[in-house]
């Protein structure tokens, strides 16, 4: 077992859900790519809001509304600092990565795409970064085309560069593949796309929990992610955009908060970021997310990332030495995701038998059906590690796989 480089037990104490039995066995949670667990600080911040400050934001003329507004907007400022965004006004609250990409596809896409234009996405994208573009492209006569991915799960940069021409208006790629763990070379993709005049949207849902993201250094036009992938609550997302693009885009939805004036003669819209935030927002979610960012800033993230990489290396070495396991996604540059199949067994059956032993993994196509079709498989078993996982839990996973094999093979 590798030498411990990170005080994982100290961190685990902050996550109450990890300390329980499932099916008579201590829980081993290996599904953080689907959703990360929440530390006490996040749970307490949400509870405190509902216990003490519950009120709508921005328009109230009383103390509760003032307190709620201050905490709500403080969370936005924390996200801006977390991403190194130039201004908190460039941070738009949404319901998640999916809605953030839909916002860009509809507000930027419908204003800028024309018949014959092209949108490029990688072949291993989550459906949320394919379907919104298809819907808009179909309506406008544009096309959505896949950037080739090789057998290891690595984007073919040469093929991508060859695809670029003046008809490519948007390149939308994941920072990290949720299905394979591949870290995509978004810096190079952005530079190549910009050189031909295309804009770039980055789906950062699977990246933000693993390392610091600097949107100014990346020079991306849009960056989207979800709070629940970053130890925050579900139902809240973030969209960062360059100011000049956001200013030029029409609103996504109509209603309260996103307006400046309304009359039957016409409506004028609010300033950023409120132009894109119709209706009562997820106030508790934003406050809880602010607490999640504070929590992350309180730990040594470089040590946490090194711990995750050590877990992945340990798990993949064990997989290579275990008969019947085939790793899917072997890019040289990966986050802590191990996707695999047990030859002769359906991934869903493997997942059920692991769950019986207290091991929580994800099975299926992971909302990335095109890349699964490319591999010619219905899906994988995906074990995804976070900094609260241990080497002993990896051992538990492989012991459970060996037991599952006695039933399946």
Which runs of E-coded beta strand occur in 218-319?
222-226, 237-241, 259-263, 266-269
Q: What is the pLDDT of residue 4?
A: 59
**For residues 101 and 109, what is the distance between their CA atoms, to the nearest angstrom?**
10
**Helix axes of 391-408 and 301-320: crossing angle, nearest 10 degrees:** 30
Within the chain, all domains assigned CATH 3.90.1150.10 are found at 8-30+300-402
What positions carry a catalytic annotation? 367
Q: Where would I find the beta strands (DSSP E) of 266-395?
A: 266-269, 325-327, 337-342, 359-360, 362-364, 380-384
CB of 335 closer than 8 Å to CB of 176: yes
Query: What digits encode the pLDDT tens for the residues 48-80?
Result: 999 999 999 997 789 999 999 999 999 999 999
| Percent of the chain as helix, strand, coil, to the nearest 5 | 45, 20, 40
What residues does CATH 3.40.640.10 cover in the chain? 44-297
CA 220 to each of CA 189, 202, 321: distance values in angstroms, whole numbers, following the listed order: 10, 7, 40
> What tens digit of pLDDT does each residue of 145-187 get?
999 999 999 999 999 999 999 999 999 999 999 999 999 999 9
Residue 254: partners with Cβ closer than 8 Å, 6 or more residues away: 267, 278
pLDDT of residue 408: 85
Q: Cα separation of 135 and 371, whole Å?
A: 20
- CA-wise closest residue to 209 among 179, 176, 235: 176
Mean pLDDT per 10-residue run, the chain (409 residues)? 77 98 97 98 98 92 95 98 98 98 98 98 98 98 98 97 98 98 98 98 98 97 98 98 97 89 90 94 98 97 96 98 97 97 96 98 96 96 98 98 90
DSSP state of 354: H
- What pLDDT sits at residue 61? 86
Q: Which CATH architecture has domain 44-297?
A: 3-Layer(aba) Sandwich (3.40)
Fold annotation for 8-30+300-402: 3.90.1150
Can you read off the two tokens belonging to residue 370? 């095109």
Computed on alpha carbons and rounded to an integer, the radius of gyration of the chain in Å comes to 22
Q: What angle do CA 168, 181, 217 make, to 5 degrees?
A: 55
Straight-line distance from the first to the last Cα atom of the chain, in angstroms, rounded to the nearest whole number: 28
Tokens of 18: 């990890």
């Amino acid at each position: 077992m590798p030498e411990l480089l990170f005080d994982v037990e100290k961190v685990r104490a902050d996550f109450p859900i990890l300390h329980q039995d499932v099916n008579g066995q201590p829980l081993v949670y290996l599904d953080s790519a689907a959703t990360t667990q929440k530390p006490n600080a996040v749970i307490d911040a949400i509870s405190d809001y509902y216990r003490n400050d519950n009120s709508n934001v921005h328009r109230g003329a009383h103390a509760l509304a003032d307190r709620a507004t201050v905490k709500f907007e403080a969370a936005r400022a924390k996200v801006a600092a977390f991403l190194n965004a130039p201004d908190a006004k460039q941070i738009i609250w949404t319901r998640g990565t999916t809605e953030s990409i839909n916002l860009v596809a509809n507000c930027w896409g419908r204003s800028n795409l024309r018949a014959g234009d092209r949108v490029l996405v990688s072949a291993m994208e989550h459906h949320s970064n394919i379907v919104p573009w298809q819907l808009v492209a179909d309506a406008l006569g544009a096309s959505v085309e896949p950037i080739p991915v090789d057998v290891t799960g690595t984007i073919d940069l040469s093929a991508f560069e060859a695809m670029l021409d003046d008809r490519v208006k948007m390149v939308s790629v994941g920072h990290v593949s949720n299905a394979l763990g591949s870290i995509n070379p978004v810096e190079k993709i952005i530079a190549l796309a910009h050189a031909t005049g295309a804009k770039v949207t980055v789906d950062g849902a699977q990246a933000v929990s693993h390392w610091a993201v600097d949107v100014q250094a990346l020079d991306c036009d849009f960056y989207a992610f979800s709070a629940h992938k970053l130890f925050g609550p579900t139902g809240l997302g973030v969209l960062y955009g360059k100011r000049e693009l956001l200013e030029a885009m029409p609103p996504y939805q109509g209603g309260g908060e996103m307006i400046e004036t309304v009359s039957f003669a016409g409506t004028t819209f609010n300033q950023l970021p409120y132009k894109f935030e119709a209706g009562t927002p997820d106030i508790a979610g934003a406050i809880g997310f602010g607490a999640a960012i504070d929590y992350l800033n309180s730990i040594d993230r470089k040590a946490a990332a090194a711990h995750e990489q050590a877990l992945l290396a340990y798990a993949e070495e064990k997989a290579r030495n275990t008969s019947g396991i085939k790793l899917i996604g072997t890019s040289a540059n990966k986050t802590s995701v191990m996707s695999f199949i047990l030859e002769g067994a359906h991934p869903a059956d493997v997942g059920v038998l692991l769950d019986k032993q207290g091991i929580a993994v994800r099975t299926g196509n992971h909302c990335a059906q095109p890349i699964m079709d490319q591999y010619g498989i219905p899906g994988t078993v995906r074990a995804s590690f976070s900094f609260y996982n241990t080497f002993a839990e990896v051992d538990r996973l492989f012991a459970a796989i060996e037991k599952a094999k006695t039933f399946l093979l």
